[in-house]
Amino acid sequence: MKAHWPRLRSFRLRIALGSTLTALAAIVLLYAMASYTIIHRRADIIDRMLSAHLAGPGFQTMPLALWPATDAQLNASFSGFAPPASGPEAYALLLVEDAGHAPLYRSPAWQRWLGGASLPRAPGLHTIDGAGQSWRIGRAVHGSVTIWVAVNRSLSDAQVRASLTRFAAAIGVLAVAMGALAWYLAGRAMRPVQHLTGVMVGLTASELDQRVSAAEEDLEFAQMISVYNAMLERLQRSFLQAARFSGDAAHELRTPLTILQGELERSFARAGADPVLEEGLANMLDEVRRLDSIVRKLLLLARADAGQLAVPPCPLDLRPVLEELAEDIGLLDENRPVQLDLPAQVAVRGDAELLRQVLQNLVSNAVKYGLPGGWIALSARRKEDGWQIDVANASDGIPAEHRHRLFDRFYRADHAHQRRVDGVGLGLSLARDIAIAHGGDLALVGAEPGQVRFRLSLPAA
């Protein structure tokens, strides 16, 4: 089974990480190449300097009394290849032997570092170990005198390591700086997308005429914005056509339905003593009234979709409306206890008839879908600069799979009894549109077993 690496969901983070890691990989590769070059170049310089000292004419005619000065000169020559904290006696060592390998001169530290080391007799430069240190050693023979010069390679390697460590620390700081810069540049590059996302988030059905300006955007994003504007224009045109059709169709249906309802009522009055005809006419009249209610709701929804649901800012008090609805509940079902928790006044601004329709729909649903004989509670409370009006009832709850679709048009959670309970699934959708038109909202705030609670939020007058 093929393994998949987890994918970062943030496009900005992927851009920042990708660019930072790419630049860091290039710097690390350069660091490795530079380190290799520096180490080998330094080793080559040490070898060249050591060879130059061994081949110098001074070693050929050097009196015995001058060998200590030569030893000090060698230490000074190679001191630049050692860290500052190292001792001066450890930079370079000098050994001068006669023909019988007896020492004519020996550096004071020679015995400490190379006293037990075996000296190579082959020509050229060699690397030997002495007292835990690595030494680069060479010899020169002048008549009966053999001169050995050893340079401490460990000190040179320590200096290189210290320099490379500081360079690596600088790379770490540089990586953080590159990451921050990449994050900032990625954010700047994503600004057109964020601007477009903000427009999309704030877009509503009544604001489809908004367009995003591409005048100051980069060429790549300007094309995307142009495509989005063209899509929005097509969407606006289709939406206006659909809203116009719904409104025109609902408007045209009202007249024949009104005529049909009047004719059925007159026929019902003349049915006389024919109970079969009277029952048939009564059933048809109920269906016509139901159709008329659907048409009126569709007309209101079409006006809301088109942004033409005008709400006059008239001050009104909803407390009498809520008390009247509580009395209606008693008339519909006298066995239902009604709980009222209302302040002295519920002052809002808007259309009294439309808000009554919202509250009546909530109360009607509480009666139709609540538990038989269960309680119904109407309450209102002030919160900051608005009102929260709750309509709750005893219920078995609403399954989770239905809650997010309750405000969809023509959707009813009670599919098995759609004809038993009156309604077509437009009431809640229309109620929320009316609430939004008043600057408020309608939401389901509780649907667990035991109770169902809807909350109407409205700005206070």
Looking at residue 246, what is its pLDDT? 60
* Residues 344, 455 within the same domain: yes
Q: Which of 356, 365, 352 is nearest to 426 (CA)?
A: 365
Q: How far apart are CA 221 and CA 205, in angstroms?
A: 25
Instruction: Report if residue 194 sits inside a domain.
Output: no
* Residues 124, 224 within the same domain: no
CATH number at residue 276: 1.10.287.130
Q: Which of 133, 160, 187 is the last residue of a domain?
A: 160
CATH number at residue 99: 3.30.450
Instruction: Report if residue 30 sits inside a domain.
Output: yes
pLDDT beneath 50, residues of the chain? 1, 415-421
* Residues 236, 360 within the same domain: no
* Residues 118, 150 within the same domain: yes
* Residues 324, 354 within the same domain: yes
Looking at residue 416, what is its pLDDT? 40
Describe the chain by its helix, strand, coil percentages, rounded to 5. Answer: 55, 15, 25
Instruction: Report if residue 372 sits inside a domain.
Output: yes
Give CA separation, 221 vs 192, 213, 225, 230, in Å.
Answer: 7, 11, 6, 14
Instruction: Report if residue 199 sits inside a domain.
Output: no
Looking at residue 430, what is its pLDDT? 83
Q: Which residues contact 33 (CB under 8 A, 6 or more apart)?
A: none
Q: Which of 416, 411, 402 is nearest to 444 (CA)?
A: 402
Instruction: Report if residue 433 sits inside a domain.
Output: yes
Q: Which of 273, 306, 339 is the last residue of a domain?
A: 306
Looking at residue 417, what is its pLDDT? 42
* Residues 287, 328 within the same domain: no
At residue 386, the 3 state secondary structure works out as strand
257 and 296 Cβ atoms separated by less than 8 Å = no
Q: What is the largest CA-CA distance in the chain?
A: 154
Q: Which of 110, 141, 160 is the last residue of a domain?
A: 160
| Model confidence, pTM | 0.50
In the block, residue with structure tokens 């600069």: 385
Q: How far apart are CA 111 and CA 106, in angstroms?
A: 8
* Residues 286, 323 within the same domain: no
Q: How far apart are CA 78 and CA 314, in angstroms?
A: 98
* Residues 286, 320 within the same domain: no
* Residues 39, 102 within the same domain: yes
* Residues 326, 390 within the same domain: yes
Domains identified in the chain, total number: 3
As a whole number of Å, the end-to-end CA separation of the chain is: 65
What are 78's strand-pairing partners? none
CATH number at residue 355: 3.30.565.10
* Residues 268, 331 within the same domain: no
* Residues 148, 264 within the same domain: no
Give the residue numbers spanning the domain of 16.
11-160
Instruction: Report if residue 400 sits inside a domain.
Output: yes
Instruction: Report if residue 389 sits inside a domain.
Output: yes
Q: What's the one-letter identity of residue 197?
A: T
Instruction: Report if residue 200 sits inside a domain.
Output: no
DSSP E strand boundaries for 335-448: 338-341, 347-349, 376-383, 386-395, 441-446
